[in-house]
Amino acid sequence: MSNRRNFIKNAGLASLGVLSACQMKPKENTIESRKKGPVIKPLAISTWKNGMDANVAAWKVLSKGGKAIDAVESGVKVVEANPDDMSVGYGGRPDRDGIVTLDACIMDSTGNAGSVCALENIMHPISVARKVMDDTPHVMLAGKGALQFALEFGFKQEDLLTEKSKQEFEKWRLTSEYKPLINIENHDTIGMLALDQNGDISGACTTSGLAYKMHGRVGDSPIIGAGMYCDNEVGGAVATGMGELVMKTLGSFLVVELMNQGMSPQQAVEEAILRIVKKIPGYEEFQIGYLAINKNGEVGAYSLHRGFNYALYADDSNNLIDSNYYLK
Ligand code: SD4
């Protein structure tokens, strides 16, 4: 029987009060059906151990029914302000000229995005990135322009080089050996993804980049699609580690697109690591870690080397988890 004839028949029966509740159930994707759908459980996931503190701040927002975009911003700000995290914001290691330069990006569930790179003397680059997203028609501001924009919006200029960072830098300068180390030196950049009670996804990523990088070097972290990407119909991904490898494979976009093609978050992050293995000679010398989530709140994590961990706040519990990895 054709759908139309079925409809006419059912309409007639319904008006007679003959159809069961099940037969009359609303079509999928109507407001009615979504109201009755499964309850969405919020979650926050972030890279590395410092993600534990970031998740606590994000959870304060999410557990009150707040938005994913506000959760990720307030989450990563905790790490930006922490002088003991030497890869992000205040206390971040400087470049080879002794200057702390910051990269950050943010993306919301509407697909809007904002980013700053090579920003100096501002403690919360993520909030500047959010202003770029919310208050300009642009996505990315760099260097002096980003600083000027931040100052116009009332951000304060501060010296971000702590005594500890400075002393380490002075020591490094004695030999000036530019050697990015796996897991030890460069890797506690924070990338965070959140799923809120509405089922909306947002992401943020913020870093001082590689320690003792060339002045002006920008990594993957502020680049939408490289360091972080969200597609609210699919999921989100963030990257950490040697940014050049992520940029060359547009890692976070790749992960989200693989999920869009049907992969689970775990399959997608593993495939994105394999892409680096296949395409980039010398990949063994560097660490890369990916995190991903999808709309159902499933998560994925994978890295090149052992040693990548991540913080997952879900079901009212915050846990630090070791990621599986490629090079066994
Ligand atoms: C960068 N991806 O600047 C950043 C560094 C990083 O954990 O993530 N470290 O290349």
pLDDT at position 182, please? 56
Segment 115-141, tens digit of pLDDT: 999 999 999 999 999 999 999 999 999
243 in ligand 1 pocket by Cβ < 6 Å? Answer: yes
In this prediction, residue 247 carries a pLDDT of 98
Q: Is the pLDDT of residue 273 over 80?
A: yes
Share of the chain above pLDDT 70, in %: 86
Ligand 1 atom 3, closest CA: 209
Average pLDDT over residues 273-287: 95
pLDDT top residue among 19 and 63: 63
Q: What is the mean pLDDT of residues 76-102?
A: 92
Instruction: Determine how many CB atoms are found less than 10 A away from the CB of residue 282.
Output: 7
pLDDT band at 16 (very low <50, low <70, confident <90, very high): very low
Active site residues: 189
How much distance in Å is there from the Cα of 51 to the middle of ligand 1? 15
> What DSSP line would sit under 19-62, residue for residue?
S-TTTTPPPTTSHHHHHHSPPPPPEEEEESTTHHHHHHHHHHHH
What's the rounded mean pLDDT across residues 289-297? 97
Confidence at residue 122, expressed as pLDDT on a 0 to 100 scale: 98
Q: State whether the Cα torsion 240-48-55-146 is positive or negative.
A: negative
Bridge-partner residues for 207, per DSSP?
Answer: 103
Q: Which atom of ligand 1 is nearest to the CA of 103?
A: 3
Is-contact 235 295, C-beta < 8 A? yes
* Residue having the nearest C-alpha atom to atom 8 of ligand 1: 240
* 5 pLDDT higher than 50: no
92 with 105: CB under 8 angstroms?
Answer: no
Q: For 96-113, write each residue's pLDDT tens digit.
A: 999 999 999 999 999 999
For ligand 1, whether the C-beta of 241 sits within 6 Å is: yes
- 51 with 193: CB under 8 angstroms? no
pLDDT in tens, 309-321: 999 999 999 999 9
* Residue nearest to ligand 1 atom 9, measured at CA: 187
- Of 156, 211, 158, 173, nearest to 189 by C-alpha is 211
**Per-residue pLDDT at 188:** 74
Check if 114 has its Cβ closer than 6 Å to any atom of ligand 1: no
The rounded distance, in Å, linking the Cα atoms of 124 and 311 is: 21
Which atom in ligand 1 lies closest to the alpha carbon of residue 188?
Answer: 7
pLDDT band at 84 (very low <50, low <70, confident <90, very high): confident
pLDDT tens by residue, 224-262: 999 999 999 999 999 999 999 999 999 999 999 999 999
pLDDT digits (tens, 9 = 90+) for 26-67: 344 444 444 445 678 999 999 999 999 999 999 999 999 999
For residue 236, give the H/E element and its range.
Answer: strand 235-241
> To the nearest whole percent, how much of the chain has pLDDT over 90?
78
d(CA 289, CA 305): 8
Compute the distance between CA of residue 200 and CA of residue 134 in angstroms, rounded to an integer: 17
Tell me, what's the pLDDT at 176?
A: 83
| 37 Cβ neighbours under 8 A, 6+ residues apart | none
* More confident site: 306 or 187: 306
Rounded Cα gap, residues 48 and 312, in angstroms: 10
CB atoms within 10 A of CB 284: 12
Non-local (6+) Cβ contacts of 53 within 8 A are 78, 79, 82
